[in-house]
Structure 1
């Protein structure tokens, strides 16, 4: 059972769910591509590839694996939802960070998207509550739909 399902109040219903965009994997993917490029470069170099090239490829491969694992854990442990009463954001596995804001207290909702964000449909949604600070929800999938679900509720 997800955190959001656990904290729902009686008669509270979830209007919209979202998650982190797959772009959180991009650093790990690029690092893995670099590792394979180093392996291919070693094969094309002719003769016996350098030990340094093997070490660099192995290091890039291990770093890529680590980055992919961290991104996967971050994506799986982040929950974002809009209910008929509040906005809920939870992140973390062992340690947990949560932000909850009553929809009545939402003053403004801002969406920030880069060019890549517009092309691949991800961005940062920033919710400001009355008398509080900005609460950014970075790198979420379909930020315009998430914003609409907050403002429409």
Structure 2
């Protein structure tokens, strides 16, 4: 029997948030650098503000990455796929595998380069996606995993 597999948002999909960390750290530890490069001296109050802003920027980037990784969980089980969003307030969307009629992978150019994308699953009788795995690593492998669960379920119950 096939066991469940859990996926989360890819680290590579959060590249923009990760870039805030070194930018904020550089601004915190060298708030006078932009003024030195411009050939002028910065007032002490302004460098203090820039230092605190840099610390806030780095903290915002780290907190956003942590939230995105912790708040989004995607599970492919033997009989259903489950999409979970949220930490305190939670939204859970289960979809039985035998109800899935199509799976679709969407990747942007950056997603193709960094190896992440979105997997959308549509159920019978709906024109929209019922479950959506956003920014997962190796979306083609995720789609193959869903299809293999579907095939094993169909082989076990005699459906096709």
Given the two structures, how large is their TM-score scaled by the length of structure 2?
A: 0.74
Of 20, 45, 64, 1:70 maps to: 64
2:26 is equivalent to residue 41 of structure 1:
no
For this pair of structures, how many residues does the alignment match?
A: 142
Distance in 1, matches of 2:118 and 2:93, equals: 15
Counterparts in 2 of 1:119 and 1:99: CA distance versus 1, 3 Å: same
1:88 aligns to what SS in structure 2?
strand
5+ unaligned residues in a row in structure 2: which ranges?
Answer: 150-160
Aligned to 1:31: 20
Aligned to 2:11: 22
Aligned to 1:143: 139
Of 88, 91, 98, 1:94 maps to: 88
Distance in 2, matches of 1:149 and 1:29, equals: 29
More off after superposition, 64-73 vs 46-55: 46-55
Aligned-CA RMSD value: 2.5
5+ unaligned residues in a row in structure 1: which ranges?
Answer: 1-10
Q: Kindly state the Cα deviation for residue 111 of structure 1 after the two structures are TM-superposed.
A: 0.6
1:13 aligns to what SS in structure 2?
coil
Given the two structures, how large is their TM-score scaled by the length of structure 1?
A: 0.77
| Greater Rg by CA | 2
Q: Kindly state the Cα deviation for residue 58 of structure 1 after the two structures are TM-superposed.
A: 2.9
Distance in 1, matches of 2:54 and 2:62, equals: 12
2:83 aligns to what SS in structure 1?
strand
